[in-house]
Amino acid sequence: MSKEGQAQQIKPAEVAKQIKRLLKELSEPRADVARLDELRRIFTQLNDVGELTFPKTTTTTSTTKSGSRSVAAKWSTFLHKSHDTMISQLCERVKLGRHASIRCLWGVIAGSPKGLSSSSYRYVNAELLEKWMCAMTSQESTEMDKGMTNMVDNELLRPYRDIQFYSLGVITKLATSVYNDDGDSDDDDDDDEK
């Protein structure tokens, strides 16, 4: 089916209701990851038909008098806020060491590529990769279990060169941030005490 055919099938009001319903967290872990995976599928479909794009595109409503532009801007804002909420929920579950949430977040990373307006190529969204890595390094345990290490290595890092490339960039960025913050955080604590 063409993108136009898929876009015609998407009914924003129905999709918005479904997204709002699925953003409500569940206490049972399996049901919760199924909920998040369903959200991932919805956002991937919206990305595929061009409804949800990365990087976030800003639509200025003041430059146009068209009401449809305002509706489009509100729709885009809703989608991006909802997507961010889903990412936050997934990162919280990754911090808890839930393997299914890690796989679901990989699906989000794969389904939310960045693109340039001047190019038809799309590439890994390094911001999402960074959020995943931050969540992985913020896990409560001091050591990652062997099953998780193998899963990350065999299912994500090893098979995909672009993931390897962008992961190294994110690791460098995080390491630099930690290195630079180490000296600053001590000074900030001293200033707060004065």
Confidence (pLDDT) at 4: 47
Candidates 127, 140, 134; CA nearest to 166 is: 127
Domain range for 116:
3-141
Q: Does the residue 189 lie in any domain?
A: no
Give the count of beta carbons closer than 10 Å to the beta carbon of residue 75: 17
Q: Does the residue 162 lie in any domain?
A: no
Confidence (pLDDT) at 115: 67
Calpha distance 121→113 (Å, rounded): 10
Q: Does the residue 177 lie in any domain?
A: no
Q: Does the residue 115 lie in any domain?
A: yes
Calpha distance 75→11 (Å, rounded): 12
Confidence (pLDDT) at 74: 92
Q: Does the residue 157 lie in any domain?
A: no
Burial (0-12, 13-18, 19+ Cβ within 10 Å), 179: exposed
Q: Does the residue 72 lie in any domain?
A: yes
Confidence (pLDDT) at 157: 81
- For 138, the 3-state DSSP assignment is coil
pLDDT along the chain (194 residues), means of 10: 53 94 95 95 91 69 56 92 96 90 88 68 80 86 80 83 82 86 53 46
57-to-43, 124, 161 alpha-carbon distances in Å: 16, 17, 27
How is residue 57 annotated by DSSP? Answer: P
Q: Does the residue 61 lie in any domain?
A: yes
Question: In total, how many domains does the chain have?
Answer: 1
Confidence (pLDDT) at 147: 83
Q: Does the residue 190 lie in any domain?
A: no
Residue with tokens 């896990």: 139
